[in-house]
Structure 1
Amino acid sequence: MIELTVDAAGLARSRFAVSPLHEVVATLLPWGMHPAPDADPWVARARRVLRRAQLPLLSELALDAGGYVPDFLSPHPVEPSPGIEDELERVRRTPPERVLDELRALRDGRPRNGLAGCELPAGVRRSMARGGAHVARQAAEELRRYWELAFAPHWEAAKSTLDAEVDRCAGVLARQGAAALFNSLHPCIRWADGTLRVESRYRITLPVPLVVVVPSLVAPQPAVSVDPTRDGARPPMLVHPVRDRALADTLTPAAPTTETAQLLGPTRAALLAALARPTSTAQLAARHFLSPATVSYHLGVLHRAGLVTRTRSGRSVLYRRTPSGSRLARGR
């Protein structure tokens, strides 16, 4: 159980933030290895990117380490809606000793807090040997690549949903107060008698100056990022899963039916299934691990068959299924 003691002044200072980098790093946590059935649809896709792309440090931390992902990879948002580049720059500028401290915590554990240690993967050890500044730079570059491959094409729609959750919370706060707000976030989050309690396998009790609340489409359960070694100097970040999962229908491409795959071929069928919303060649290439030239060829065939439309948006050409293409993608 995590228990955070927050006085009235701390409640007044507490705030919400929507963080693109947090969504990226959340897929590195243990729940990303076996996503829950109702988890946001990009989790499984992101993990496939992580396994196939050349991201050695992130891959080892997520797939081979012990379940604790170092906090420096996901700095606490300092504004309500930070941009991805600003957050990546903060990762890059993490003090080297803090980077090494958190990797040592991954290795040695923190038994008092319920965090078990684990043997660090060989690649992580090699990066550490080159210093904390090197690890921070490598992490920032790999996080950028991961973001571009797995998240950037979907962020506009995802952010709209997360912003809507912040607006919902603001309404609860204005109408019912802070206690009702925290108790509305998730059944595993409870506020009573000046203490915020979050169910967790970790054991932490801390007085804190405020709480940064971050809604997430990726997290299937609440989580708290704290630093018990610094006496609450860095405010804890409370992550809660959003209630509205309607975005799943817009982000999850329909799986092509067997009949469609037999008719069009598996590659064209998968591309057609992914075109429920206007999408560029580059976005499709990244999602399906194809070259842009290959995607352009198949889209040309689908366009000539009247199954997709194409429109220009700035320098990009966006493709989308026609009604007949949608019926074919659904096997109707």
Structure 2
Amino acid sequence: MLTYRLTSRDLADVRFAVSPVAEMVLSFRALRDPGRFPLQLGWVRAVQPYVADLDWDVLRWLVNDTMGSPDFLTPRPTSPLTQLADELELIASVSKDTFARQLIAVNGELPEGLTIDKVVAALTEYWQAVMAPYWSRMRTLLSADISYRGHILTQQGTGAMLNGLGPAISYADGLLRVDRVADPSRTEDIDGRGLVLQPTLFGPHAVIPFDPGADPLLGYPPRGQAHLWSVVEPPSQQDLAQLIGTPRARILELLTYPRTTTDLAGELKVTPSAVSQHLQLLRRTGLVEPQRTGKQVLYRPTELAALLTGTDVD
């Protein structure tokens, strides 16, 4: 068990984040022991044709038999909008001493010839092969969970939110207890460093830093995982049109890159005011979002739209 001690100041500084690289590294667990991750079997089955071609001479050293990974592979994220490229840069810049020390702590040895450049290259290949095609769907679920937890926090308080994170996590009287994670058990003070809460699909119960004393981080299981892989194929254009209407489905189809109302109106051969009405409804329902560039307002699809249409959002 890991116990975090939080002061009232620490409770006010709890924040949420999503980490693409952490999801990637933690997903090794599901490939290594699928039986522990029944809710992710849809993903495990889908990626099987690509797994054998990955660089397991490197990847096998990044998670041990007890599902531990070196902390340099999962830098503490700072935002729900964390980008993979930024995290890979942090990994690439890790010192040789930290690289060696943490790999030895996890594996009991430092593999001969293993370098940080080889690790970053193997992770990049892994991401493109088995994570990138499914990341929009994963990220949508993780982001939705953060929104839900934020609602609980504002309506019921930090304690209620922490107690709802999962069966292995409990909070009372300034102590946040995380079961089924640390052996031997340990207690650590947050001590003004901030606690980052990170939903992860590959817990399965909770995730904590490998190194004692590392910056406080708690990965927890998000809601809705049971249905994450229930829709294997994206809906057809006809299905989407029946759901949201043909004009709005056509607008989403055209938003392969950010476009203005006038641009879309010209493409659809309708008035800008007609397009504007559709865009406002799509915006209110979370399917498009505006971005201002100079005097122009461009519209782009959201992650939810990408989930509906089976496309990627940059």
* Maintained 8 Å contact 2:34/2:41: no
- Kindly state the Cα deviation for residue 79 of structure 1 after the two structures are TM-superposed: 2.7
Structure 2 residue 248 is matched with structure 1 residue 247? no
- Kindly state the Cα deviation for residue 46 of structure 1 after the two structures are TM-superposed: 4.8
* Maintained 8 Å contact 2:68/2:210: no
Per-residue CA deviations over 1:200-243 (Å, capped at 9, x if unaligned) read: 25222111232110111232211212531xxx4x4221111112
Residue of 109, 113, 117 corresponding to 1:127: 113
Question: Any residues of structure 2 matched to 1:147-226 within 5 Å, and which?
Answer: 147-202=127-182, 203-208=185-190, 209-225=193-209
- 1:76 alignment partner in structure 2: 76
> Partners in 1 of 2:85 and 2:177 — Cα distance?
33
> Partners in 2 of 1:91 and 1:102 — Cα distance?
13
> Partners in 2 of 1:211 and 1:177 — Cα distance?
16
> Partners in 2 of 1:216 and 1:13 — Cα distance?
20
Which AA in structure 2 matches 1:157? R
Which AA in structure 2 matches 1:56? D
Which AA in structure 1 matches 2:60? S
Q: Secondary structure at the match of 1:23?
A: helix
In the superposition, relative to structure 1, how do residues 17 and 149 fare at CA in structure 2: closer, same or farther (>3 Å)?
same
- Kindly state the Cα deviation for residue 38 of structure 1 after the two structures are TM-superposed: 2.2
Per-residue CA deviations over 1:149-187 (Å, capped at 9, x if unaligned) read: 001111112211111100000000001111000001101
In the superposition, relative to structure 1, how do residues 47 and 73 fare at CA in structure 2: closer, same or farther (>3 Å)?
farther
> Partners in 1 of 2:202 and 2:175 — Cα distance?
26
* Maintained 8 Å contact 1:75/1:90: yes
> Partners in 2 of 1:200 and 1:54 — Cα distance?
30
Q: Secondary structure at the match of 1:18?
A: coil
Per-residue CA deviations over 1:228-270 (Å, capped at 9, x if unaligned) read: 1xxx4x42211111121222213xx3xxxxxxxxxxxxxxxxx
Per-residue CA deviations over 1:100-120 (Å, capped at 9, x if unaligned) read: 110121244xxxxxxxxxxx4
Q: TM-score, structure 2 length as denominator? A: 0.67
> Partners in 1 of 2:148 and 2:41 — Cα distance?
19
Q: TM-score, structure 1 length as denominator? A: 0.64
> Partners in 2 of 1:96 and 1:277 — Cα distance?
48
> Partners in 2 of 1:69 and 1:206 — Cα distance?
20
- 2:246 alignment partner in structure 1: none
> Partners in 2 of 1:204 and 1:31 — Cα distance?
29
> Partners in 2 of 1:48 and 1:183 — Cα distance?
40
Structure 2 residue 118 is matched with structure 1 residue 138? yes
- Kindly state the Cα deviation for residue 48 of structure 1 after the two structures are TM-superposed: 6.2
In the superposition, relative to structure 1, how do residues 126 and 199 fare at CA in structure 2: closer, same or farther (>3 Å)?
same
- 1:58 alignment partner in structure 2: 59
- Kindly state the Cα deviation for residue 49 of structure 1 after the two structures are TM-superposed: 3.7
- Kindly state the Cα deviation for residue 19 of structure 1 after the two structures are TM-superposed: 1.2
Which AA in structure 2 matches 1:53? L
Which AA in structure 2 matches 1:42? W
- Kindly state the Cα deviation for residue 60 of structure 1 after the two structures are TM-superposed: 4.0
- What is the Cα-based RMSD across aligned positions, in Å? 2.6
Which AA in structure 1 matches 2:112? R
Which AA in structure 1 matches 2:171? W
Which AA in structure 2 matches 1:249? S
Identity among equivalent pairs (%) = 27
> Partners in 2 of 1:127 and 1:192 — Cα distance?
47
> Partners in 1 of 2:199 and 2:40 — Cα distance?
14
Q: Secondary structure at the match of 1:191?
A: strand
Which AA in structure 2 matches 1:239? G
